[in-house]
């Protein structure tokens, strides 16, 4: 923050509040560049006191919030005039109306000017602690156990929705919180994306290589009521969230046998992920890994189907995961900052064939000093039933 010319960070989003305080109660965490952080809580104060790792204070009214901050953090506000205290906040997720109320409440003298600190908080969260990695590994174990337990349901004629419901049940009874949090505006994930045949290849607003038909305009993605058929790809892209931390994985299944070209595309997805594994090491730029995947898909004659099809192709190979499923870094153009030990990424090479289906694989990896370590625990390879 000091390097960015910021006097303090005002944490507003519940996921970031959990990250910095250990509690997801309603309020604002004020983290000064100099001095101790304080979590100002609206409700529940009782829960926050039990959960938070930082000092808790009742927030009171928003109208009096500036005075509370100035009185509680004199090293930040002393001698400052109107707007001279620079406070960063998460403008990538803060609603415009909430921003306007905060800016009005914190203005005056001594008062604050708000600036965008999204990159600061997202950058800090890219490198995971040992505890965070342990939670992601716990989620990986649950996802693997759930997939194994649910696979007997996968038979010809079963509805996608029934299979997804069984997967969700198996994960929930093992501790999955029931949702996958995202940071992107209007992007929602329930437990992942499950689709069979042409339904998996139906495009959607979801920023991923496979959207899925879904249950209608109110949920236009993932599993539908379509029934699974023989000799078609079944994409099982699931996540699990334990103690707030997610794992992301994809496996491809078939009842019978895939058509030859789809089987070849699946084999190419495995080759691309093996190539990415060799490249994922400290010092490697994420955009270089993405460029290598594009070259691999082009060399295989599959560039038009890689990570979607036509105008619906997405422009990434993988993404950071942690408290949210769309964290930094992203294996995409424009992400040139080198990988570091402690970063966790999901890598998901997939091929989309409109009217026929989607094939691919996804694993999650921890960047280590020696390269990368796979966190996903489900067995690899095409699941043939």
Q: What is the pLDDT of residues 243-276, one digit of tens each?
A: 999 999 999 999 999 999 999 999 999 999 999 9
- pLDDT tens-digit readout, 80-116: 888 899 999 999 999 999 999 999 999 888 889 999 9
- pLDDT tens-digit readout, 160-182: 999 999 999 999 999 999 999 99
Torsion of CA 265, 271, 277, 280, to 10 degrees: -70
- β-strands 112-116, 350-353: how paired? unpaired
For residue 367, pLDDT beyond 90: yes
CA dihedral for 155, 161, 166, 170, sign (positive or negative): positive
- Same topology, domains 8-124 and 130-384? Answer is no
Q: Over the chain, what is the mean pLDDT? A: 96
Architecture of the domain made up of 8-124: 3-Layer(aba) Sandwich (3.40)
- pLDDT tens-digit readout, 112-165: 999 999 999 999 999 999 999 999 999 999 999 999 999 999 999 999 999 999
Query: pLDDT band for position 6 (50/70/90)?
Result: very high
Query: pLDDT band for position 346 (50/70/90)?
Result: very high
Q: Which tokens sit at 108?
A: 């005056």
Q: Which tokens sit at 317?
A: 């190979």
Query: pLDDT band for position 79 (50/70/90)?
Result: confident
Class of domain 130-384 (CATH, top level): alpha beta
Q: Which tokens sit at 156?
A: 């010809």
pLDDT of res. 81: 82
Query: Three-state SS across the chain?
Result: CCCCCCCEEEECCHHHHHHHHCCCCEEEEEEECCCCCEEEEEECHHHHHHHCCCEEEECCCHHHHHHHHHHHCHHHHCCCCCCCEEEEECCCCCCHHHHHHHHHHHCCCCCEEEEECHHHHHHHCCECCHHHHHHHHHHHHHHHHHHHHHHHHCCCCCEHHHHHHHHHHHHHCCCCCCCECCCCCCCCECCEEEEEHHHHCCCCCCCCCCCCCCCECCECCCCCCCECCCCCCEEEEEEEEECCEEEEEEEEEECCCCCHHHHHHHHHHHHHHHHHHHHCCCCCCHHHHHHHHHHHHHHCCCHHHECCCHHHCCCCCEEECCCCCCEEEEECCCCCCCCCCCEEEEECCEEEECCCEEEECEEEEEEECCEEEECCCCCCCCEEC
Cα separation, 362 vs 339, in Å, equals 19
Q: What is the residue extent of each domain of the chain?
A: 8-124, 130-384
pLDDT of res. 311: 94
């Amino acid at each position: 923050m000091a390097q960015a010319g910021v006097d303090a960070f005002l944490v507003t989003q519940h996921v970031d509040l959990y990250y910095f305080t250990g509690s997801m109660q309603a309020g604002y965490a004020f983290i000064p560049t100099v001095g101790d952080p304080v979590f100002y809580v609206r409700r529940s104060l009782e829960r926050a006191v039990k959960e938070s790792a930082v000092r808790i204070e009742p927030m009171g009214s928003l109208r009096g919030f500036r005075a509370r901050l100035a009185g509680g953090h004199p090293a930040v506000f002393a001698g400052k005039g109107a707007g001279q205290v620079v406070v960063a906040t998460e403008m990538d997720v803060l609603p415009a109306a909430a921003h306007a109320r905060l800016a009005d409440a914190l203005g005056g003298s001594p008062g604050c000017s708000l600036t965008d600190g999204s990159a600061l908080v997202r950058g800090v969260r890219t490198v995971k602690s040992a505890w965070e990695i342990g939670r992601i590994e716990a989620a990986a174990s649950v996802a693997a156990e759930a997939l194994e337990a649910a696979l007997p349901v996968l038979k010809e004629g079963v509805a996608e929705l029934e299979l997804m419901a069984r997967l969700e049940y198996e994960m929930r009874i093992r501790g999955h919180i029931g949702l996958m949090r995202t940071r992107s505006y209007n992007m929602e994930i329930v437990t992942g994306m499950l689709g069979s045949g042409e339904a998996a290849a139906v495009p959607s607003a979801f920023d991923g290589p496979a959207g899925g038909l879904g249950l209608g305009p109110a949920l236009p993605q993932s599993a539908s009521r379509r029934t699974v058929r023989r000799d078609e790809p079944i994409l099982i892209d699931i996540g699990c969230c334990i103690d707030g931390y997610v794992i992301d994985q994809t496996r491809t299944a078939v009842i019978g046998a895939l058509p030859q070209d789809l089987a070849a595309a699946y084999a190419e997805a495995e080759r691309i992920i093996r190539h990415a594994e060799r490249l994922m090491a400290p010092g490697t730029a994420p955009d270089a890994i993405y460029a290598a995947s594009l070259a691999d898909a082009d060399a295989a004659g599959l560039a038009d189907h890689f990570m979607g099809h036509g105008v619906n192709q997405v422009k990434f190979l993988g993404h950071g995961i942690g408290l949210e499923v769309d964290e930094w870094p992203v294996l995409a153009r424009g992400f040139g900052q080198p990988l570091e030990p402690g970063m966790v990424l999901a890598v998901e090479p997939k091929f989309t064939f409109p009217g026929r289906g989607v094939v691919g694989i996804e694993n999650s990896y921890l960047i280590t000093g020696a390269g990368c370590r796979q966190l996903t625990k489900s067995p690899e390879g095409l699941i043939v039933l």
